[in-house]
Structure 1
């Protein structure tokens, strides 16, 4: 296979390195809005034994490179146009979330993917984390009985650069959307209503752009299960992402290990733990590899799409509902924000 990569930044470089380890990927073509960055990444990867990596001088050049698949890891505002162009060219595409900057854009991409049958896989990497996979299997098998409570958290150790905030979409669309997707995916249930709130106790930049640095959401699932989400940009102890499920028969947690940045108290002696996770790239390293392997299988016709655009659209609806609830201080049903 010949795979194209749009975006040679931090996550793009990581995806490029992973793709180079996959035997099905015979060649990798890299492009970036900054051509020198694409060339530099190609040189670094070309030092590997495979010697099958090259750079294009423009992102548009990828579409004349005879691609079997395209990985989109470019800047967020470029996602929609790249995915739409790939679908029109009938090139299967993997795209980091979000597919588009708003609900309407996501809706139109989902419709185009359904209409053409071109596979578009969205990068919700938690779906591929071993703990989340095991949790979904446990719920599906009935091991927990009926669920009564689901708790999810996304705690970043430090805020993003100030320049990222104005274009991020806000805490609920940028960060909490992962929790919303995970809850839907693991439980197999839809969300009937949300109540959300946010606060700012950190940098003024969040308030300046109408965003919050800390948020919480209460969800009502369609079977009566209650969900709770917490998220913050200021968890200095480390990167902490967990999903806890409590049922009538059992309970379990995904994302708890000896690197989870929580300290039990009281403690008779210091815990023998490794350093906490510092970023999502580190915490979900294996999951990122797994979702790209899944994409290769999807475009090879070996498996069904594990995260199609319609799933991303549902998560976006819920993020929009949370943002509306936060702004207006009331319960919101997802139907209020659907296109």
Structure 2
């Protein structure tokens, strides 16, 4: 099949490399506002260059991957749907939840499959955890812990446009908690602080946060996030039930050092970047998209799925600002 890629920044170039190695992908068409980025990708992957999104969508592609800036996502998703081309779009759907709701309505009316990029759904550990929960191996859950700790904060310009740590970072934890447990979040209580980069505080954001989520069956989920984790990129999940407990991310490249006498775990080189931690998951995610394009599977992460994680992020943002518990229903609109 022939796949188009809109946006060739860090993640777009990474997706181009991944797609070029998939058996199902015959050729690529690329477009980027920066002509040099498009030219470099074309030379590296033997891709055709289109000079605009419109030209790319008219180039006989079977599916399109959107890795452009967030503010371009709504228009590009809509353009793909209007063209009848299956769409993969990196999260978020849009810069605001109101715009995301509007995109959802258009996608539902258009009848073209759209997959949103939440790559943890394709990580082998998280898949195994979901299977264990859904298979009843843990019994009834009572506690979930989910962690995303970055080794260093993103640049100031990124932070200023990100919408805040809950919408940008924690939202991955919110999505995977929903996906693994099969439950919805009803209420949140969030806290945050700033012990690092001044520009994060100046942007009105926090660099370290914690959130307690109450799920609809009474399970408690604790989410921990930080922009400053000197040992590496740490993504983990614990699930504790009445019958058993399991963990995702407890492997030799875990960026955590034990001080127990004689302990040799973890023994490997710590993960230091999200592309390193989730390289296999990204490949599985884009392989799934080729199956969506081929019509052999439905979207594994719909626009509606992505908006559910977004509402949790909105509730946490309000909770942090007003120092109180917030029910998700309070922020939900549309």
TM bin (shorter chain): over 0.9
Structure 1 stretch displaced more, 186-195 or 299-308: 299-308
Are residue 218 (structure 1) and residue 212 (structure 2) matched? yes
Partner of 1:117: 111
Q: Counterparts of 2:295 and 2:40 in 1: how far apart (Å)? A: 33
- Check the 8 A contact 1:245/1:252 in 2, yes or no: yes
CA drift of 1:112 comes to: 1.6
Question: Residue 294 of structure 1 is aligned with which of 270, 285, 288?
Answer: 288
Partner of 2:303: 309
Q: How many residue pairs align between the two structures?
A: 333
Deviations 1:276-329 (A, max 9, x none): 111110000000000101011012111121100000010000000000000001
Q: Counterparts of 2:160 and 2:215 in 1: how far apart (Å)? A: 31
Partner of 2:32: 32
**TM-score, with normalisation over the residues of structure 1?**
0.96
Partner of 1:100: 94
Unaligned runs of 5+ in 1: 47-52
CA drift of 1:260 comes to: 0.4
Unaligned runs of 5+ in 2: none
Structure 1 stretch displaced more, 180-189 or 86-95: 86-95
- Check the 8 A contact 1:99/1:122 in 2, yes or no: yes
Q: Counterparts of 1:298 and 1:231 in 2: how far apart (Å)? A: 32
- Check the 8 A contact 1:206/1:212 in 2, yes or no: yes
Q: Counterparts of 2:300 and 2:95 in 1: how far apart (Å)? A: 22
CA drift of 1:56 comes to: 1.5
Partner of 1:209: 203
Are residue 146 (structure 1) and residue 137 (structure 2) matched? no
Deviations 1:12-61 (A, max 9, x none): 11111111122222221011110111111110112xxxxxx211223332
Partner of 2:168: 174
Q: Counterparts of 2:284 and 2:259 in 1: how far apart (Å)? A: 36
**TM-score, with normalisation over the residues of structure 2?**
0.97
Report the CA distance shift for 1:280/1:272 in structure 2 as closer, same or farther (over 3 A): closer
Are residue 4 (structure 1) and residue 8 (structure 2) matched? no
- Check the 8 A contact 2:252/2:265 in 1, yes or no: no
Deviations 1:186-205 (A, max 9, x none): 00000110000110011111
Partner of 1:227: 221
Are residue 66 (structure 1) and residue 55 (structure 2) matched? no
Q: Counterparts of 2:266 and 2:242 in 1: how far apart (Å)? A: 33
SS at match of 1:219: strand
- Check the 8 A contact 1:67/1:91 in 2, yes or no: yes
Q: Counterparts of 1:84 and 1:236 in 2: how far apart (Å)? A: 40
- Check the 8 A contact 1:121/1:305 in 2, yes or no: yes
Q: Counterparts of 1:269 and 1:120 in 2: how far apart (Å)? A: 46
Q: Counterparts of 1:170 and 1:147 in 2: how far apart (Å)? A: 30
Partner of 2:328: 334
Question: Residue 150 of structure 2 is aligned with which of 151, 156, 174?
Answer: 156
Q: Counterparts of 1:22 and 1:108 in 2: how far apart (Å)? A: 33
CA drift of 1:268 comes to: 2.2
CA RMSD, 1 decimal: 1.1
Are residue 254 (structure 1) and residue 269 (structure 2) matched? no
Partner of 1:135: 129
- Check the 8 A contact 1:33/1:59 in 2, yes or no: no
Q: Counterparts of 1:41 and 1:271 in 2: how far apart (Å)? A: 40
Deviations 1:191-235 (A, max 9, x none): 110000110011111111110000110010000100000000000
- Check the 8 A contact 2:253/2:266 in 1, yes or no: no
Q: Counterparts of 2:232 and 2:99 in 1: how far apart (Å)? A: 34
SS at match of 2:326: coil
Partner of 1:44: 44
- Check the 8 A contact 1:35/1:58 in 2, yes or no: no
Partner of 1:50: none
